[in-house]
Amino acid sequence: MSARRIIIDTDPGQDDAVAILLALASPEEIEVLGITAVAGNVPLSLTAKNARIVCELAGRPDVKVFAGCDRPLSRRLVTAEHVHGETGLNGPKLPDPEMPLQDRHGVDFIIETLRAEPAGTVTLCPLGPLTNIAMAFRLAPDIIERVQEIVLMGGAYFEVGNITPAAEFNIYVDPQAADIVFRAGVPITVMSLDVTHQALVTKERNDAFRAIGNRAGEAVAAMTDFFERFDLAKYGSKGAPLHDPCVTAYLIRPELFTGRHINVEIETRSELTMGMTVADWWGVSGREPNAMFMGTIDSDGFFALITERLARL
């Protein structure tokens, strides 16, 4: 099988960083065509910088990184320094990047890549708010049918919300963009909080990252140490969830996940439930399925995969 060709759209974020490292450590399964940064966990200037820090940590300064949209389509930007720290990558001490940011806008890169590559050969992997993807679809509707698949982290059904009582962060930050993406008709696979809240960095798993003994393992252990302090206080669980690597792990080992092909719609009007992913898990609406909504993960297999691949870096 040839490698899946992907564009990673991201707002790093420690968990984004692990997702990117996993992709770059897995060239047999994943070819990263480029990385587009978006405003989300922290403002765009930081996510565009952090994406390059992570590429350099992976020993891949050749990867093209583009800055995309600096704010949601129509709402004020909400960020999450309370989770990720003021830089977005708090935890490890990593040097400022030397590799350049590409001149082109991230949205233009997405459009041009989908037009240039054979139809049905490029997968989009959004790890943050869906602003860049929605903007690309809005500016160039001809690219929509050329997308192979969208595999994204966002939303929740049983776990409901993590930024408001009703909404998951990525969808909440730009619900209008999410609405455009979920209505586009592209095959979508959703790594929701229902999955990611089962992917907990326990002490044993954190120790395993550190025991790899290379720079990437040490940095990932320091990242998960950092956000664990917040998540343990919030969830009272036995470790912090590692959200975004579920996306890149799925491209390598889809059998780690199970879910249902269901209808998912986005709340864009009610302030109380803004950004809620209304997922028809029980099939009660009669609405057409538009997303593969994941519900379970083999978390031991997931962490074994990440640890094995980080050791290659």
Looking at the Cβ atoms of 168 and 179, the one nearer to Ca ion is 168
Looking at the Cβ atoms of 169 and 293, the one nearer to Ca ion is 169
Instruction: Please pick, among 82, 84, 197, 243, the residue that the annotation labels catalytic.
Output: 243
What the block records as the tokens of 54 is 């992570």
Looking at the Cβ atoms of 143 and 152, the one nearer to Ca ion is 152
Looking at the Cβ atoms of 13 and 85, the one nearer to Ca ion is 13
Three-class DSSP labels, 18-46? HHHHHHHCCCCCEEEEEEEECCCCCCHHH
DSSP SS3 for 2: coil
CB of 28 to Ca ion, least distance (A): 25
Query: What's phi and psi for 41, nearest 5 deg?
Result: -50, -40
CB of 242 to Ca ion, least distance (A): 11
Q: Are 46 and 73 in contact (CB under 8 A)?
A: no
Q: Are 305 and 249 in contact (CB under 8 A)?
A: yes
Rounded distance between C-alpha atoms, residue 200 and residue 202, angstroms: 6
CB of 177 to Ca ion, least distance (A): 14
Q: Which residues of this protein are in contact with Ca ion, per CB under 5 A?
A: 11, 13, 16, 127-128, 244
Rounded distance between C-alpha atoms, residue 48 and residue 62, angstroms: 15
What the block records as the tokens of 232 is 């343990």
Query: What's phi and psi for 84, nearest 5 deg?
Result: -100, -5
84 catalytic, yes or no? Answer: no
Q: Cβ–Cβ contacts within 10 Å for residue 90, how many?
A: 16
CB of 61 to Ca ion, least distance (A): 22
Any idea which residues carry the catalytic annotation? 243
